[in-house]
Every structure is written in structure tokens, then in C-alpha cells.
Amino acid sequence: MMMLWLMTGTLCLGFSVSILAHDPVATFEIPPWNFTMLCTLHKQAAVVKERTWQLQPHRNSSSRHSSLHEHVRNANTSHSNNINPNGLHSQDGFSCCLWKEADLHCPANFITDQSIRMNIKCWTAGDLSLFVCNLKPSVWKISKSVKYRIHHLDVLSFDQEEGNLSMYMNDCVQHHIIKCTISSVDLNRKYFIWIELITNSGTFRSPLMSVTPINVVQTNPPVDLQTKMTSEGFFKLSWTGPNPEPYPVQFEVKYSTGIPERIWKVKDVWENSLILRDLQSDISYLVVVRCKRRNGPGFWSDWSEPIQVDVLEITYYPPQVLTTVGSDVTVRCVFYNQTLTTNNVVWWLNMNEKIPDHQYTLINDHETSVTLLNVTSNGQSQCNMLQCCLQNEERNICNFRYAEIIIIDMKSNISCETNGAMETMICRWLPRTLKTGTVSNYKLKYYMKGSWCDNLQVEDENVDIKECPLVINEFYECHIKPINLTFGHVMWLEFNHQETTFKSPPTCVIPMDVVKPWAPFNVDAEITQNEGRLNISWEKPRLPPYKLQFEIQYVENEMEGNWKTLFAVNKTSIITEVTDPCVTYVVRVRCSRFEGPGYHSEWSSLVYTNLADIQVPTTGPDFWRFIDRNPLTKDTHVTLEWKPLTKDEALCSVKGFMLKYESTENITWLEHAGNVTTYSFLLNNEIRSVTVIAFNSIGSSRKNVKLIFPKDNSKAVEVLRSLHASMINNSCVIVSWSMFPLNPELTSFVIEWKSLPNNDEEKVKWMRAAANITTAYIFDHFSPSQQYQLTVYPIFSEGEGQPSSFYLTMNGEVAKTSNDGLQNVILPLIFLSSVLLIGTFLISKHRR
């Protein structure tokens, strides 16, 4: 009984169907707008915690039924003590009040530190599936961890005879606002609703509220807003009403220019369209529409998605036409708020070609049209500018706007290739690029026919037409699989634009004729020994099963633009001469069908040759000796200096040099000198000659220069009769000589030069001249302020002849000296200087 009393006190009412029909309970009717609830906890009831709704079971339904009848009667006779005209409810110290208008407030004793103020909006969702109440608390001083519940009772679920009462409870979801929902409501049934707030201080329950969901529907907003020009030259706005539409609705249209600030014009509309007669030209308007119940209560819907209406002085329909060669095209133009006649309209194509008058049609006072006949294209696609102008006497007044006529040449540009495995045919084409991107839904369709391509048809009821899935990257591309290598594949392009399908003329491809083989692999390249030729080998792909022609290209490294090309048929290697076998070569190979159509394969990976010697060096280096005799120790030191070998001489590189000595008894021995250009050794009486030998990874040079050391230079043969020299400029000196009758064994001349006085840093320089010349040019840096000593050595096969030395003075004069005279003067001076030094040393020792 206590729980039944609580239920009756909190709900304020219990009832039966018959009582409701004649004496409805006084409840707060939920309005189709926001309302407010204020709840407070009275001090005398602050100890009451968490009161909840529960129906206690009774022995039989009739006792429960009679109890509800009793409490309904009590509530009806005493509800003024529990519910005030503002919806006030009080029970056990928990009190809430409701009001719909801003000027009605709860009693002053409701506003305490524990008061909770709620702004509430309840409505039926536009899809008619949910009843929703949003609770938005104002600032309060209780914890935010309040639990919210919504209870509802279907009046018709109470059966008078059986006494069954169906009450339901849903928890509310709290985010920025509290959202309470009731699902599966019947729009035309009446429901009793109350909201429960469970806090640490106690449980707050709203007064009993009633609602019929059909009266608080917030419909979905209108959709599909669009405009078109009427025959009177005005814009007609139309839209689609809410979906679902629970009842007839009325509309509200709002539009504004936004200039200088957005001031909306609002019009009430009872139909799904409105003619906008007060728009100004060359201004853009923003238009939105909403709707609500036409008769009876209900919420306004949200505003629709806005549509922008550009009020143009002239509008073209359609503004862009996509067509094919040979078609006829019709375009209309509508002048806003302008009267047209057959005499004041003229059409121009591309601003310079007047369209004949007989192709015009005057539709009404504001609209005209033109038809272009059998349009043509001068390329893949041609964009034409079509303008409708007003003609005033002989003057044309044209607006800057125009319609675009895009003429597409639908000749197929499909190219196909069969992959190297001969399992898939890949077909590509470049899409027709249009400025506005209006082309969509590209498709490639195909079917197979016999072993040849003739009598092509796009439509054929007797064939299985297939559609190839697209891959879009740089090209449009599709992969046809499986394929029949010898069957013709008839294919064409289709694309859709403005509900029109365009088809290209069909083309036919036999997969075997468009094979792109895999690239050759295992490519190898090397320079052969001895011959120094380029040997290239590769392996050919397993498929296709016919003769292949191979294209071989090679180039010296770092010279990518100078490829040389060779061809081979059904081979796997080739050998070719190269200009320089001592450089690195880059090689690549590709293949194609030898006879018949097909594609080249991709190039193989680049292959590089290794640097390697192809033969032993052709010759040893040309060298000369510099002799240094010590007068005190009588030792003679010889320094050999030689020129580096060229690549042609080294074939292809030099790893180092060896000295081959020969004694007077014809005994030879070798000494390793390393990879140097100078080498010194002590000359003794056993060494008769020396040879410098070059070697590489293959072996040693066989043709070498031999230098024979003479035993007595004073007995050498005198060859030169006269010498002359002159300085041409700072970098060139010319030397000439005359000779006594030549000994036939003369092999060459060696010319030495050095500056005077000679510093240790300045080494003696030399050059070799042929035996059959008498004039030589010395190229070096010569200073006019310096003196130079030049010495010419005649060389015989058995040794050196008598050398001749001379001075080159500043003015280019030559002072010839005798080699013997130099020796006779220089050696005694050196000896005398040595004696004087020794004597001075002894005297100083004696004094100590």
C-alpha cells in the first residue's frame, strides 16, 4: 500500500480509460516550444533519499484496479493542493514546477541553493521514430554526476477490466545537454510523461506531463531546392517537402542578398514552389526554406540547405553542351526582365561567326533558342562560345556570358598491349579533358569474335558484351582477362553526360599482335682479352613463342647521350669493336617481334663492364738518365726519369715498372721499382746497360728502351758540327743543329735544358728528338731575364755520342762550349776546392 500511495502521490493521478474519457486528469500539456522546470528540495524533507517508482504486487488485479480508481478520484478532487496552475508538484519535500511563458514564475520559496533550473524542449523527430526531450540545465550548485530518467505511461495500455498498467523507463544520455528519448511512439496516442533527477540530496520528479506526439513533430527540412526561369522572365523556386510527411505542411521561404548586410525577406507559402518576382539582376541571392504543420500545433523544421540564385541578365539553358561530331545542338537563352522580338535577337558563334536567322526560334517575350546543325570539330575536342545578343539598329549589345558547346571527336584512341606472360591484355586511353569535368562514368566494353577483325559492330545481340573495370592513374586503363590470343577483341568507349550515353566507333585488337615481351635478363658485358672487343650476352624471355629481334645499345660511361645501337635476331650474344677498350661501357638490351606487329619490351637493367687489361703493355717507357759523380768518393749515382705510358701503350693500365740490368759479361737481373716515374741507383763497373720495363695484370712489355752507359765519354764519337737556338716567346725555344756525316747507327737525340744558376729545386728537363731531324722545339716556361744551359746528346744503338752544350742568353745568343773543356775546367776547380777545405780543417785542428 505504501508503494501504491507513493505512485499516486508522485504521478498525482491514477486512472482508467472510462474516467479519462469523461474527466481527464489535470496535467501539464507539453507545448511545441521550449518550456522551463524548476525543482527544489525542502529542508524538512532533506533526509528522504532515492525515492523510486515500483508497483507492489496485489493479490488480484481487481484490487489494484479499485485502488487506482480511488486515487484517481482523490486526485481529481484534491489536485489543487498538489498541482498549482503553473504545474507545481510537491511530495515529501520534493517539489518541481513548470511554466510555458517567460512571465510566469514559481513561488519564491522554490528558489534556494539547492534549486535546479531546466530549459526543456520536447519534440517528435522528423523521421517519426523517436520522441526526444532535451534538458539544458542552467548554472547549479550540485554535482554534475546527476542521473536522469524519463518515464512514460501509455494511457490506452490501461485495460479497465484487466487492470494492467504499462509503465516504461529510459535512462537519459548526458553530454553538453541531457537527451532523453522514447522510441516506437504512436503519433496519435496520448502519453503521460515525467522526468526524474537522482542526486545525492534526493530524487526530484517533475509534475505529470501529457503529450500527443503528433502535436509536437519537428519535420525534416525541405530538400532539392532548385530554380528555373519562367516564360515571363522570372525565377521559379521549387522544392520537395519533408520525408516522411506526417500531415499537410506550410512553408516559409527566406532569401537575402547579403549586401551590404544580410537582411532576409520572408514569404509564407502553401505550395511547393514560389515565383521570385522582386529579384534584381546581376546579384546573387541566398535562399532557404522550412516547413511546419499547416493546421494545428507543431514545430518549425530546420532550414533547408541553402541554394544560391544568381540573377543574371541573360541565362543559357543548358550552359554547357557536350556533343559529338555531326550532331545538332539546340541552346536556349532567357533574358531577365527584358522583352524580345524576332528583330532584336542575333546569335554569334565564337564572337565572329553570325548564325543564320532561320536557325533562331522565338519562344516567348523573354526566351529564344538557336539550333546548330551538323557540328564539326577540328581536333580531339573543340570548345565553342555561343552568345545571344540584342540588336539595336546596326549595333549588337552582347553580355559577357556565353554557352559552351564542346564537340568531342569520338574516334577511338584506345591502345592495347598484351603482357609478357600473354595472360592479360592492358588497354589504355587518354580521357577527354573538359574544363568543367562534366564527363563521368567512363566505361570500356568489348566482346570477342573470330580470328580476324572485320564487319565491326558495337551492338550485337549474338555476342557476350563485357565491361572492363577501370584503373584511373595517368591514363584510363583496364585489364582484360582471360583473353584468346588469336581472337579479335572488339571494343569501344562509353561515357555518360546529362543522362546521355556517348559511344566511340568500335576498334578491334588481336592480343597476339600487341604483345609487349618481358625484357631480356641476365645481361652480361665484358671487354675481351687480346682483341679488346665488347662481348655482350643475355637470356631471352620464354614467351612469346616466335622469333625475337634484339636491340643492343652501349655507350662509354658518363656519355649517356651517345648510345650506339646493334641488332641481333634470335641470338643471345654479340661481339663488337670499340674505339677505346680501356674505359667502362654501359650496356642495355630490349627485344621485339622479328616479323609482324608488336611492341618493344622495356630495356633491361643497365650493365657496366669492368676495367681490365687486354694485353701486356706495347712498350716500356721512354726514359733518360741523370748522372751525379762524387769527386771525393768516386761514386756515380744514376737517376732515371721516364714518361708515363698512355692507355694505348699500357693496354689498359700499368701496375708498376721493373729495371733490367745487364753486365759486361751479359748477365742480367731485375729490380722492382714500383709504380713511379723516377728511380736512382749506384752505378758500378759491372753495369753495362739498364732497361725500364712496364707491366700490368697480364704481363710485361716486350718492346723497351735500353740505355747503355759508356766507359769513357772522352772517346765518344763527335756528331754535332754546329748549334743554334733562339727564344720565340716565353714558352717556346727553337733549337737547330748541323752534323758531320752521320753514322748509320744513330737512333735519336736527347736534349737537356736547365736554368743558370741551377737551384736544387729546379730539376733538369729533357726531351727526345728523332734521328732524322735537325730542328727541335722546346716548350716550357722561359724567363727572358734568365740564362739557360742546353745540352744535346746523340744516341747510338751502342751508346751515347759526344754531347754538346751551349748557353742561351737573354738576347737569344748562343755561346757554344765544348763538353771536354767544361770537364777540364770544372773538375780541377772542384779538386782544388776540396784540397783547400781539407787544409783549412787541419790547421783549425792544430790550433786547438
What would the 3-class secondary structure string for 600-632 be?
CCCCCCCEECCCCCCCCCCECCCEEEEEEECCC
For residue 175, what pLDDT is reported? 79
The three grid cell numbers given for residue 745, joined into one nine-digit string? 747507327
Distance, in Å, from the CA atom of 376 to the CA atom of 369, rounded to the nearest integer, reads 20
φ/ψ region of 116 (left if φ > 0, alpha if ψ in -120 to 50, else beta) reads beta
pLDDT score, position 234: 81
Q: How many CA atoms lie within 13 A of 751 on its CB side?
A: 27
Tell me the residue type at 558.
Answer: E
| Angle at which helices 61-82 and 2-11 cross, to 10° | 40
What cell was used for 517? Answer: 615481351
Give φ, ψ of 44 to 5 degrees. Answer: -70, -15
DSSP letter (8 states) at residue 232: T
Residues of the chain falling short of pLDDT 70: 1-26, 41-95, 101-114, 139-144, 157-166, 259-261, 378-381, 431-441, 457-461, 498, 712-715, 742-743, 759-761, 810-848
Across the chain, which distance is largest between two alpha carbons, in Å?
Answer: 164
> Among 209, 162, 152, 159, which residue's Cα sits nearest to residue 184?
152
Phi first, then psi, for residue 110 (nearest 5°) are -80, -20
399 CB burial (10 A radius; 0-12, 13-18, 19+): middle
CA torsion through residues 242, 247, 252, 253, sign: positive
What type of residue is 524?
D
Q: How far apart are CA 87 and CA 97, in angstroms?
A: 5
Q: Distance between CA atoms of 198 and 200, rounded to whole angstroms?
A: 7
The rounded distance, in Å, linking the Cα atoms of 12 and 26 is 9
| Inter-residue contact 576 to 494 (CB < 8 Å) | no
Q: Which triple of cell numbers denotes residue 360?
A: 533562331
As given in the structure block, the three cell numbers for residue 332 are: 536556349
Of residues 19, 28, 4, the one with CA closest to residue 158: 19
From the list 232, 234, 237, 262, the residue with the least C-alpha distance to 252 is 237
Q: Which helix (H) or strand (E) holds 137?
A: strand 130-137
The angle subtended at Cα 419 by Cα 418 and Cα 422, nearest 5°, is: 75
Are 814 and 792 in contact by the 8 Å Cβ rule? The answer is no
Least Cα distance to 381 among 406, 414, 403 occurs for 406
